[in-house]
Amino acid sequence: MTIRKKYRALIITWFVLGIAFIVASTKIHGIFIIALLILFFLLGALSRSLKCPNCGKKVLHNNVKILGIEMKVWTSWIPAECQKCGLVIE
């Protein structure tokens, strides 16, 4: 499975299970909000652990230029190429 497919699967899981837990928390029991929080932290940790297969750099932790200042931030997208080694990320 490629990094992009893994990331897409995580986002789809977040939407599908997230909506399911929100609906369940209003219709069934409020305890499902806890499940939603667990899902939030679990998927967050999983997506932060996605690494470049070549150099091991975390693909969502990137240099981004904001108002002319370059900063290292967690992004919600995967760049076309790894910023460290230049490998095309599939």
Please state the closest distance from residue 7 (CB atom) to Zn ion, in A.
15
Please state the closest distance from residue 24 (CB atom) to Zn ion, in A.
40
Q: Identify the residue among 2, 26, 54, 75 touching Zn ion (CB under 5 A).
A: 54
63 binds Zn ion (CB under 5 A): no
2 binds Zn ion (CB under 5 A): no
What is the full DSSP assignment across 21-66? Answer: HHHHHHHT-TTHHHHHHHHHHHHHHHHHT-B-TTT--BTTEEEEEE
59 binds Zn ion (CB under 5 A): no
Query: Residue 64 in contact with residue 73, Cβ under 8 Å?
Result: yes
